Every structure is written in structure tokens, then in C-alpha cells.
A and B are shown apart, each in its own frame.
Chain A
Amino acid sequence: MSASRERILARLRASQPAQPLPTPVLDAHYTPRARNEGVRERLARFRTGIESFHAEVHVSSEAGWPALLGRLCADKGVGTLMYGADTPAGRQLDPSAFAATVLRPWAGAVEDLKADLFHRVDAGFTQTLGAIAETGTLIVWPSEAEPRTLSLVPPIHFALLDARDIHPTFFDAMRAGNWASGLPTNALLISGPSKTADIQQTLAYGAHGPKELVVIVINAEGEVQ
């Protein structure tokens, strides 16, 4: 307990209002603006949003997406694709669908594969927790199986999204998933490939993170199952 801590807190307490102000009511803002929309409409809004941020969106099926990923990797000349093997999606990846690409599961700590990650891996593949329709945003929660840097360091990020997990707003996503009860060490919202407008307000993609973001959407048909 530092002296500064005590001094700062004492100073704040001395002038803190006796009664805190009323707790803000967020529902009063969000509820009247809620849309009555299905998966199809949400996906359409998500797509418009994220495509406006230069992400690529492909619609596939639960069975067909690994083959599509293989084709996309071939088209983009991806030599090495890194992914988390110990995930539901990772277990579906089959090297036979990747004729031109080496499938490399993440193994070990980042310290042991930093050089490869920075210089030799062309693309990273991750699952997503869902998405946000309002802004065109992916929700990614990195984990032991899918580390943080997988969606950050390689020049291309492939992300798999289940259309049924698209929420209308960020607020809805946090409420629905009860985020406040437990967050991972790192949670991310991702809206497009990295970009900057720091030189004369000219937009340029591929600043420090991925240059391309490719989203593969499954279960786009609607509320089946």
C-alpha cells in the first residue's frame, strides 16, 4: 500500500458526493431501438458492415467449410496456415482439403515459435464466439487452444462464424453471454483487417495486424436445429 495510494484515495473521498448519482439505465436507450429481426437479416447487416471495413465474407455450410477454406488458401497463395488443433473447428480440418497449403497446428509457447509466427506463417485460422450485426464486428475470445496472436500476427486471418451467434449490438452480446460474470484474459472485437489513416487521412489497410480478414459463415439458413 503506497503512500500515494492513500493520499489519492483520501483526497477523492474528501470531496466525493455523499450520495452517488443514480445508476445509469442502459435498457432505456437500447430497448426502444431493438429490432425484430431473424438470422438472415442480422447476417445481412453484419455482412454490409464488415465488408465496408474491407473484410471478405463467404457463406458455406457446416460440412463444406473446410473445403472452402482449403480453396481460399490456395487462391491466396497461403503456404502455411496455423490453427488451433484442439477445438471443434480445428478437428474438422483435414490436410487432404489443403493441396497447396501446409496445415500447421499451434504447438508450444509463443516464445518457441515467435520467429515462425512473424516470418513464416502466412495465415491464421480461428473460431469466433459470435458477431455484432450493428457494426459488422467479430467477437473473438482467444484461449489455450487458440492463442491471442493467431488472429494478430499472420498477414491473413481466417475466421469461422456461426450465423446463429450474431447479436444485434455489442450491448446485446455482453448481456446474452453474461460477459460480466467472467471474461477470458483477453477478449476481442474485430471489425476488418488492421488499418490506419494517419498519413493525410488516407486510409491504408495492413497497418500492424492482418492485411486481410476473411470470414466464413456457416448456418446462414436460419434458425434450424
Chain B
Amino acid sequence: MSAPHATSAAASSSKRDARPIAFVSAQALRERMHDAVNDPHLRKSFRGAMDFLMAKRAAQFPDESELDSLRTLSEGIRQYSLSRLPDLLEQLEAKLTRNGVQVHWAADADEANAIMLGIARRHAAKTIVKGKSMVSEEIEFNHAMHDAGIDALESDMGEYIVQLAGEKPSHIIMPAIHKTKEQIATLFAEKVPGVSYTDNVDTLIQIGRQVLREKFEQADIGLSGVNFAVAETGTLCLVENEGNGRMCTTVPRVHMAITGIEKVVEKLEHVAPLYSILTRSATGQAISTYFNLISGPRKPGEKDGPEEVHLILLDNGRSQAYADEQLRKTLQCIRCGACMNHCPVYTRIGGLAYGTTYPGPIGKIISPHLMGLEQTHLLPTVSTLCGACGEVCPVKIPIPELLVRLRGEAQSKPHDNPVMVGQGAGYSALASFVWRTWARIYARPGNYRMFSWLASRFRALTPSRQSGWTAARTPLTPAPRRLRDMVRDRQ
């Protein structure tokens, strides 16, 4: 559950509420958005960052036909993989097991945390050093470990900053995008022992490097996410720039990787186009600094690498999306974040206002499956349906279409046999009555003629306050004369 006043966490960094913000109520969501929109610093940071990322992405695709071909291929690979998902998961498990990797299955967040806590306890681990993993955010891994007395330390620079501030990532690729270097300078001076204020970015990064190198050296366990899991070879692929992902998966004695069940592809060569379109769409890089392919723990004779590697395959609502042919497309996602970079709503309210692990357009279509519509029925409406997200998606997820579908699932009358948990959670008898009436008027010419005649005659009776409409707009008033009447006069 959300903190009652978690709203201001989105707007200013002064509120350092480290509690989970996996869910905010409809009212809180409205307040968070309102606060965010009225925060000029936040608006400026996001506008600048999004413009920067959009320009960088565009520069990576100078050849329209190459982009088209690569998108079609990438969509094809993701859809093909999903069409064989259970087979590929079994193949992946068999291959990984043969390679010496231990594979675990988790239905939900609690089970995933319990599995990893079990591993940590078996090794009497005190410190877990983490590479960037949105799935670990999704399951509130750090809190689960903290409650068990284990230190889970973020090592991606952005995640480290956000954790130090007691906040949450506001972007899936650039977690600390909402913070200015001055804020980070203040934060380091306050929280890192022996550091005085400097807003020189190179110096700040070197401070982070020093602190975290010590942790890599000492940590008992390293945790990572997975960008692609390859079934035919039993390989976990990780994309990163900083080297912390390699540190986490190489230096500690135990490596735990966690991933959603949708990330598997059949063939190793399938990762080539996906990797290329991922980095170019995400940060506008031709390629990331590191692409790390892990196919097993240290073998006899090898001198380094983890002695144990574990993979946790997490469902957490993904199989619900899978069950419906249209909603299944949600699982094509390769988590590049281009949809948020191009979203006019995300750019204005930032990533924290949504109150979900995954913000922006992808968050609006995946969160209802992870958390149920009961908690998220308002999310699909936080959109203008402008279509930018669908246009830039590297795997062609029809995000606007899915948003409309989810609005329908959320707002239709609750019925038996729903395809989604929480179907009908946003149902309102009044709204439903209004729309039914509207449909009756607008679908029948006779009704429409009568209604428009009455409306123009009695326009003086139009209420000046019209629910949500007049909150930011002038009231809707019928014209004194109908178009129909004016046309007739001219003839």
C-alpha cells in the first residue's frame, strides 16, 4: 500500500519515503500527477532528458528502410518466441541445468523473494550487490532482504543514487533521470562518509566507483536481471555500460539472476537483431559497452566466475497476459524505454507519479497484469492515445490499442469469466448509464434530431460545472442554432 502522503515524493526529493510505492490509489495518482505537473524543476529535467534521448535515438536510425526491416524482424522474433513460450522455457531449463545453472520457478513476488532468501541464508550472506534489474524492483527485493537483515546494495550508478536518496527509479533505463547534479552532489555530501560537496560529474562518478568497488570485492552474492535468455544454448545475456553488471555476475561466489518468463528466445542468433534495436531505441547508442553472455558457473580449471549460478523465472501475472491473444503482445517488450521517452504524458509528469515499478506507456499496459486492475484501473486512462509509443516501439507492440482494450476491461460491468484479475474494477453505473444514453441518442437519427432541438432551445439551462470537464476548461454549451437549421436556411 502507498504511504498516505507519497504524492510529494514525485514532486520533490525532499520527501524520502523508501517504502514501496508499487500501488497508489486513484485519488493519490491524481494528486501525484497534479503535483508533478506543477513542479517546474521536474518538468525541466524530464523535458530536457526526453528531448536528448529522442534526438539520440533518431540519429541511430538514419535509414528508414533498415529501421522498418529491423522492427519487423524483431517483432517476428518476439512473437515467434512467445508462440513457443512453454517449450522454450523447458528447453532453457534443461540446457541451463546441463550447464550447471540451478533454475527456480516463482509464481509471484513472495515466492521469488523466498527462493532468493533461501539461497542467501544457505550461504550466510550479509551483502548482496545488485546489477540493474527492474524485475527485482517489481518484487521489492531490497525490502524483502532488508527485512531479513541482509544488505541489498544497488551498484548501477543511477540506482545507487536513487537508493541512497531513499527513492525509486523514475525511468527503467535511466533511474536517476529526475535528479539534477546539484541534488546528487548534496546527497553524496550528506550520505557518503568523507565526501564534501562537488557537482563535478566525473568526480561524483569516481566517488561512486570507489564506494562500490569495495562492495564488489566483499559481497557474498551478486544479483542481476536478464535481457535475453537463450533456450538453445542455455545462456543469459546482459546489456550494460558501467561494468557493474559484469562485476555482480563475476566476482561474488554466487550469482542469482532473475527474469520474467517472457524474456526467452529460441536461437542465439535471435539476440543479434534484438540487442541492436534495444540499445539504439533505448539510449541512442549503436551498442552498449558490454554484452555479457553467461552460460554457466565456473568450471573446474577456471580461475574466476561464480561457483553457483541461479536463475529465477518469475510469472507474477505474465501468464495472465499470455492467455489472451491481444494482451499477449504486451510480453513482446524488450524494456528499452523508448515509449516513455516519446510519451507526452510521461515527459510532463515524470516516472515517479505513476506509482508503479514500470512507468510510462509500457507500465500502463503491463502493471494491470502484475498487480490486477483493482489497483491499476485508472492507469490506462493516463494517456492521450496520441500513438507515439506504438510508433517507436522496436517490437511493434500496439500500445494504444492495448490501452483502449484495458480501459474496456477496467470499466465494463464485472462479469463471470474475466480474462483479467480485477475486471470491472473501474465500473461506474452512472458513467455506464451516461454512455448508453449517449449511444442511444447518437446512433439513431430521430433521437439525435430531437435531442439537438431540445438542447439548442434549453441551452440556458446548461450547468456551468460539468464534472471533470470544467476543472480545466470552459463549460460545454450547445449552439443557439443547430447546424441542420443553418444548412436549411441557406438552401
- Chain B residues with CB below 8 A from A24, complex form: 73, 76-77, 80, 270
Q: Check if B269 sits within 8 Å of A209, measured CB to CB.
A: no
Q: Check if B293 sits within 8 Å of A199, measured CB to CB.
A: no
B295 within 8 A of A: yes
B89 within 8 A of A: yes
Q: Check if B206 sits within 8 Å of A12, measured CB to CB.
A: no
Q: Which chain B residues in 181-227 approach chain A with CB under 8 Å?
A: 181, 184, 201-202, 204-206, 208-209, 212-213, 216-217
Q: Chain A: how many interface residues by the 8 Å CB criterion?
A: 78
- Chain B residues with CB below 8 A from A170, complex form: 272, 275-276
Binds B, one of A60-68, A72-80, A108-116: A108-116
A210 within 8 A of B: yes
- Chain B residues with CB below 8 A from A11, complex form: 315, 319, 322-323
- Chain A residues with CB below 8 A from B209, complex form: 206-208
Could you tell me the distance between the alpha carbons of A115 and B214 in the complex, rounded to whole angstroms? 10
Q: Check if B84 sits within 8 Å of A20, measured CB to CB.
A: yes
Q: Check if B106 sits within 8 Å of A198, measured CB to CB.
A: no
Q: Check if B233 sits within 8 Å of A185, measured CB to CB.
A: no
Q: Which residue of B lies closest to A209 (CB)?
A: B243
B43 within 8 A of A: no
Dominant secondary structure at the A interface: loop
B381 within 8 A of A: no
Q: Check if B243 sits within 8 Å of A194, measured CB to CB.
A: yes
A137 within 8 A of B: yes
Query: A204: shortest Cβ distance to chain B, in Å?
Result: 4
Binds A, one of B15-23, B150-158, B350-358, B442-450: B150-158
Q: Which chain A residues in 80-118 approach chain B with CB under 8 Å?
A: 106, 108-110, 114-115, 118
- Chain A residues with CB below 8 A from B89, complex form: 8-9, 12
Binds B, one of A141-149, A158-166, A214-222: A141-149
B298 within 8 A of A: yes
Q: Which residue of the partner chain, among A29, A115, A174, A185, contacts B73 with CB atoms under 8 Å?
A: A29
Q: Check if A174 sits within 8 Å of B79, measured CB to CB.
A: no
Q: Which residue of the partner chain, among B77, B174, B217, contacts A197 with CB atoms under 8 Å?
A: B174
B5 within 8 A of A: no
A152 within 8 A of B: yes
- Chain A residues with CB below 8 A from B233, complex form: 179-180, 182-183
Taking each of A4, A137, A187, which has the highest tally of chain B beta carbons within 10 Å of its own beta carbon? A4
Q: Check if A207 sits within 8 Å of B243, measured CB to CB.
A: yes
Whether A196 touches B205, Cβ cut-off 8 Å, given contacts A4-B107, A144-B302, A169-B272, is yes
Q: Check if B290 sits within 8 Å of A16, measured CB to CB.
A: no
Q: Check if A198 sits within 8 Å of B158, measured CB to CB.
A: yes
Q: Check if A149 sits within 8 Å of B241, measured CB to CB.
A: no
A35 within 8 A of B: no
Could you tell me the distance between the alpha carbons of A198 and B292 in the complex, rounded to whole angstroms? 20
Q: Check if A199 sits within 8 Å of B302, measured CB to CB.
A: no
Could you tell me the distance between the alpha carbons of A174 and B291 in the complex, rounded to whole angstroms? 13
Q: Check if A29 sits within 8 Å of B273, measured CB to CB.
A: yes
Could you tell me the distance between the alpha carbons of A42 and B90 in the complex, rounded to whole angstroms? 40
- Chain B residues with CB below 8 A from A224, complex form: none
- Chain A residues with CB below 8 A from B289, complex form: 53, 190-195, 209
Query: A115: shortest Cβ distance to chain B, in Å?
Result: 8
Could you tell me the distance between the alpha carbons of A193 and B242 in the complex, rounded to whole angstroms? 9
A188 within 8 A of B: yes
Give B260-279 as 1s and 0s: 1 = Cβ < 8 Å from A's Cβ atoms: 01000001111011011000
Whether A186 touches B293, Cβ cut-off 8 Å, given contacts A26-B272, A144-B302, A209-B242, is yes
Q: Which chain B residues in 83-133 approach chain A with CB under 8 Å?
A: 83-86, 89-90, 99, 104-107, 111
- Chain A residues with CB below 8 A from B7, complex form: none
Q: Check if A185 sits within 8 Å of B305, measured CB to CB.
A: yes
Q: Check if B250 sits within 8 Å of A186, measured CB to CB.
A: yes
B25 within 8 A of A: no
Could you tell me the distance between the alpha carbons of A179 and B270 in the complex, rounded to whole angstroms? 12
Taking each of A23, A109, A195, A207, which has the highest tally of chain B beta carbons within 10 Å of its own beta carbon? A207
Could you tell me the distance between the alpha carbons of A25 and B166 in the complex, rounded to whole angstroms? 46
Question: B-side interface residues toward A, CB under 8 Å?
Answer: 48-49, 52-53, 66, 69-70, 73, 76-77, 79-80, 83-86, 89-90, 99, 104-107, 111, 155-158, 161, 174-177, 179-181, 184, 201-202, 204-206, 208-209, 212-213, 216-217, 232-233, 235, 241-244, 246-247, 250-251, 261, 267-270, 272-273, 275-276, 283, 286-299, 301-305, 313, 315, 319, 322-325
In the complex, besides A183-B233, A186-B295, A207-B244, 4 extra interface pairs with C-beta distance below 8 angstroms are A53-B289, A188-B246, A204-B205, A206-B209
The 3 closest A-B pairs by CB, nearest first: A209-B243, A198-B158, A110-B304
